[in-house]
Amino acid sequence: MTASDTSARPLVDREHSLFLLREMLRIRRFEEKAAEMYSLQKIHGFLHLYIGEEATGVGAMQVFTQQDNIVATYREHGQALARGIPARVLMAEMFGKATGCSHGHGGSMHFFDVSRRFYGGYAIVGGGLPVAVGLALADKMQNRKAITGCYFGDGAVAEGEFHESLNLAALWKLPVVFLCENNLYAMGTALERYQAQTDISRKASAYGLPSSAVDGMDILAVEAAAKQATDYVRGGNGPYLLESRTYRFRAHSMADPDLYRTKEEIESWKKRDPIVLFERKLRELGLLADSDLGRIESGIAAEIEDAVQFAEASPEESIEDLLKDVGGQVAR
């Protein structure tokens, strides 16, 4: 084996590479279907699509175990799918059905699956970070080996909760990977229009924790960076901040006319579509044939068709159960 073969070794695991590609495509097709279902008025409320950011959700998720905790944002469909929550219960949730992963109480922004330690989609920007710190605190105090992966967007970095949480996790050496998905916009406000220091990874130094930034359009780079981050955290060294530099190809939400950025900017980023880039790389390495792609796409199409049919056919939560899961009631 030559030296160049060795350096390429992480890339040449065909099975894993095809799995990563498939996971990204699952998210892409799921989101496209979600947009379609929104336009058909099957999905209501806010719908924030993950299209363009798939490499971050999929790449980073590979390094978390089932014992680890995941905390995500309101743009969490990608993480939920990558975590292994079935597409059908996610679609059912967005349809507002009883079979949804949150029984129709949460919708697109609030997916939960405690069996997979998926502790939710948080729709107050920055609001998930303190919860992630606490999950890690519980693990540490109970001598569990688990770590917590906390996804949040660049907008959260402007919130006090980001700074409070990084400080607290670093102070108490808690096992949290803070994973910033920097898509360059806090809703419609560009990073340079709301941050004096636009290099997000540098903010970690103020709290004494290590950090790095990675090309969020390169799934193998994301996976490797996330591995490095989780290795550090699993080593009992405290938290780590990983910034994944990415871009959302769709508007902030379905309600967003996307007037604050140029078509040229969007098109230039689409040239760095993480799925296209990875497909190209795999083809160059001779790891991907048209037949592979066809097989992957048809499998995904069947899964998503099933998800829609399941969501459509599922019953609604009974109104009689409306108050069932409100806590703090009189104990009977």
Binding site for other proteins (CB under 8 A): 69, 100-106, 110, 112-114, 119-120, 122, 124, 127, 129-139, 141-142, 148, 160-161, 164-165, 167-168, 171, 324-331
Q: Which amino acid is at 49?
A: L
Closest CA to 128 of 120, 136, 140: 120
259 versus 326: smaller Cβ distance to other proteins: 326
* Closest separation in Å from C-beta 80 to other proteins: 13
17 versus 79: smaller Cβ distance to other proteins: 79
Tell me the β-bridge partners of 71: 150
* Closest separation in Å from C-beta 234 to other proteins: 17
What's the N-to-C CA distance of the chain in angstroms?
71
32 versus 159: smaller Cβ distance to other proteins: 159
| Angle at 23 (CA atoms; ends 20, 282), nearest 5 degrees | 35
Distance (Å, whole) CA 92 – CA 47: 14
131 versus 275: smaller Cβ distance to other proteins: 131
* Closest separation in Å from C-beta 6 to other proteins: 41
- Say if strands 211-215 and 148-153 run parallel, antiparallel, or are unpaired: unpaired
* Closest separation in Å from C-beta 69 to other proteins: 7
* Closest separation in Å from C-beta 103 to other proteins: 3
Per-residue HEC secondary structure of 99-132 comes to: CCCCCCCCHHHCCCEHHHCEEEEECCCCCHHHHH
19 versus 46: smaller Cβ distance to other proteins: 46
How far is the CA of 245 from the CAs of 2, 274, 305, in angstroms?
33, 12, 32
| Angle at 252 (CA atoms; ends 81, 111), nearest 5 degrees | 30
132 versus 220: smaller Cβ distance to other proteins: 132
Residue keyed to tokens 């798939």: 54
- Say if strands 189-190 and 240-245 run parallel, antiparallel, or are unpaired: unpaired
* Closest separation in Å from C-beta 330 to other proteins: 5
